[in-house]
């Protein structure tokens, strides 16, 4: 079975051809990152326009690399959310057009769950259920994944996402966007540190995150250093390291307590922040001590890409999922899934009431 994946949720345009849900024949990705850099963040209007400009060439590249034609495609899988609405609509329109003209089924996929499904595609030994940690510019989530179609949100950030915190702190330190890789690079090999920021844990049992206080603490420290002329390159490095240490420790601690409380022995880490070298070493070591297996998908499956969309789309299709051309996009992960959950619970309770009262 040949699935064509379509991903345009943020600044990456991607088309991918995947055979039987696992074998990645191609995974073409282009990005408008450079166009956003001078604005210090992704500009939605620019992102959607670039998807339109580069989409067709990206699709052609994916088909060419995979050595397949559109006639060989059996299924179209597309990201329907979360993401930037204008960007999502470009991919959705493309996928619907392909589905309609080729007369092939369409399946809409959640981008966040697809980041975790990338772990399933990469690691043949990984089994459901597993714990997922999604850490990106827009999300910080702990999710129990029971199957490609069933998951439960265990915790999320109550303010900034982890990647957002990296980007904002980088800006405070005068580093370029995106800030995560910059802070990662600056902190490498940094041993001693005169700075220490508190670990935002919230309460002992909470699996929620909060990074905005930490960002403010960095801001206050940097402002104080600027006033005394003490923000030298080496001091900047130490501040960056102390910030990164705090974020990584919280992510490790909460992930492992979620795994323990859910009785899960595997952890998949997805999203851009999973590339962080300090997080990788801290988490790998701490998880090993707790007998938890950690899967970090490879860089090509870690960044935003359409192969993970095609993979999850195929799995959902095999479980009977079919979407119509009326498929809608959604911008917000929590809002969409909590609303869907409430609607289902409401329908269930209504059904029960009706059973109770056949009249
Ligand atoms: O998943 P992603 O590529 O895009 C979305 O947000 O959907 O994640 C981008 C985020 C940015 O905030 C970026 O600064 C962060 O991931 N990031 C990193 C690293 N590489 C990317 N954060 C920390 N360390 C890194 N090495
Ligand atoms: Zn993403």
The per-residue DSSP string of 228-282 comes to TT---HHHHHHHHHHHHHHHHHHHHHHHHHHHHHHT--EEEEESGGGG-HHHHHH
Which string of b and e fits 299-321 if b means at least 16 CB within 10 Å? Answer: eebbbbbbbbbbbbbbbbbeeeb
* Cα of 258 from ligand 2 centre, angstroms: 22
Three-state secondary-structure class, residue 1: coil
What does the DSSP 8-state code read for residue 175? P
Please give the number of the atom of ligand 1 that sits closest to the Cα of 9: 7
Look up residue 74 and give its two tokens.
Answer: 């059996």
The residues spanned by each domain of the chain are: 2-115+302-346
* Architecture of domain 2-115+302-346 in this structure: 2-Layer Sandwich (3.30)
Using CA atoms, how far apart are residues 36 and 298, in angstroms rounded to an integer? 25
Close Cβ partners of 340 (under 8 Å, ≥ 6 residues apart): none
**pLDDT less than 50: residues of the chain:** 352-359
Please give the number of the atom of ligand 1 that sits closest to the Cα of 303: 3
Indicate the top mutation candidate among 115, 273, 282 to test ligand 1's pocket, ranked by most ligand atoms within 8 A of CB: 273
Give the Cα-Cα-Cα angle 321, 327, 330 (nearest 5 degrees).
105
Indicate the top mutation candidate among 44, 111, 163 to test ligand 1's pocket, ranked by most ligand atoms within 8 A of CB: 163
- Under 8 Å between Cβ of 275 and 183: no
Return the ligand number nearest the Cα of 47: 1
Using CA atoms, how far apart are residues 238 and 216, in angstroms rounded to an integer? 16
Give the Cα-Cα-Cα angle 159, 162, 164 (nearest 5 degrees).
75
54-to-14, 128, 274 alpha-carbon distances in Å: 10, 36, 27
Indicate the top mutation candidate among 113, 177, 272 to test ligand 1's pocket, ranked by most ligand atoms within 8 A of CB: 272
Please give the number of the atom of ligand 1 that sits closest to the Cα of 279: 24
φ, ψ of residue 108 in degrees (nearest 5): -90, 140
Residue nearest to atom 26 of ligand 1 (CA): 276
Return the ligand number nearest the Cα of 273: 1
Using CA atoms, how far apart are residues 28 and 17, in angstroms rounded to an integer? 9
Show the ligand 1 pocket: residues with CB < 6 angstroms. 10, 136-138, 163, 166-167, 178-181, 184, 271-273, 275-276, 303-304
* Cα of 24 from ligand 2 centre, angstroms: 18
* Cα of 302 from ligand 2 centre, angstroms: 8
Return the ligand number nearest the Cα of 309: 2
Closest CA to 312 of 166, 163, 145: 145
- How many beta carbons lie within 10 A of that of residue 193, not counting itself? 14
* Cα of 234 from ligand 1 centre, angstroms: 24
Close Cβ partners of 350 (under 8 Å, ≥ 6 residues apart): none
* Cα of 93 from ligand 1 centre, angstroms: 27
94-to-49, 74, 76, 106 alpha-carbon distances in Å: 14, 16, 10, 11
Sign of the dihedral defined by the CA atoms of residues 250, 139, 108, 61, in that order: negative
pLDDT tens sequence across 100-123: 999 999 999 999 999 999 999 999
């Amino acid at each position: 079975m040949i699935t064509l994946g379509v991903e345009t949720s943020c600044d990456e345009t991607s088309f991918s051809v995947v055979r039987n849900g696992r074998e990645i024949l191609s995974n073409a990705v282009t990005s408008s990152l450079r166009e956003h850099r001078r604005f210090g963040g992704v500009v939605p209007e620019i992102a959607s326009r670039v998807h339109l400009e580069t989409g067709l060439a990206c699709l052609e590249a994916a088909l060419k690399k995979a050595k397949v034609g559109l006639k060989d495609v059996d299924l179209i899988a597309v990201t329907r959310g979360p993401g930037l609405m204008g960007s999502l609509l470009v991919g959705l329109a493309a996928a619907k057009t392909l589905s309609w003209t080729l007369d092939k089924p369409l399946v809409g996929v959640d981008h966040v769950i697809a980041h975790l499904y990338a772990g399933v595609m990469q690691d043949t030994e990984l089994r459901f259920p597993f714990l997922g940690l999604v850490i990106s510019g827009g999300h910080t989530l702990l999710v129990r994944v029971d199957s490609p179609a069933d998951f439960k949100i265990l915790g999320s950030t109550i303010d900034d996402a982890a990647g957002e915190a990296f980007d904002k702190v980088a800006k405070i330190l005068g580093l370029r966007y995106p800030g995560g890789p910059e802070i990662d690079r600056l902190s490498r090999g940094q041993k001693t540190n005169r700075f220490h920021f508190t670990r935002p844990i919230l309460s002992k049992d909470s699996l929620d995150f909060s990074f905005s206080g930490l960002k403010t603490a960095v801001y206050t420290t940097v402002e104080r250093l600027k006033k005394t002329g003490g923000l030298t390159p080496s001091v900047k490095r130490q501040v960056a390291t102390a910030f990164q240490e705090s974020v990584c420790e919280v992510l490790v601690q909460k992930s492992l307590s979620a795994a323990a409380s859910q009785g899960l022995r595997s952890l998949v880490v997805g999203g851009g922040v999973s590339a962080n070298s300090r997080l990788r070493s801290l988490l790998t070591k701490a998880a090993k001590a707790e007998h938890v297996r950690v899967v970090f998908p490879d860089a090509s499956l870690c960044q935003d890409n359409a192969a993970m969309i095609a993979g999850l789309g195929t799995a959902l299709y095999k479980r009977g999922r079919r979407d119509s051309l009326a498929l809608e996009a959604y911008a917000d992960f929590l809002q969409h899934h909590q609303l869907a959950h409430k609607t289902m619970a409401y329908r269930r309770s209504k059904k029960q009431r009706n059973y109770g009262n056949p009249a």
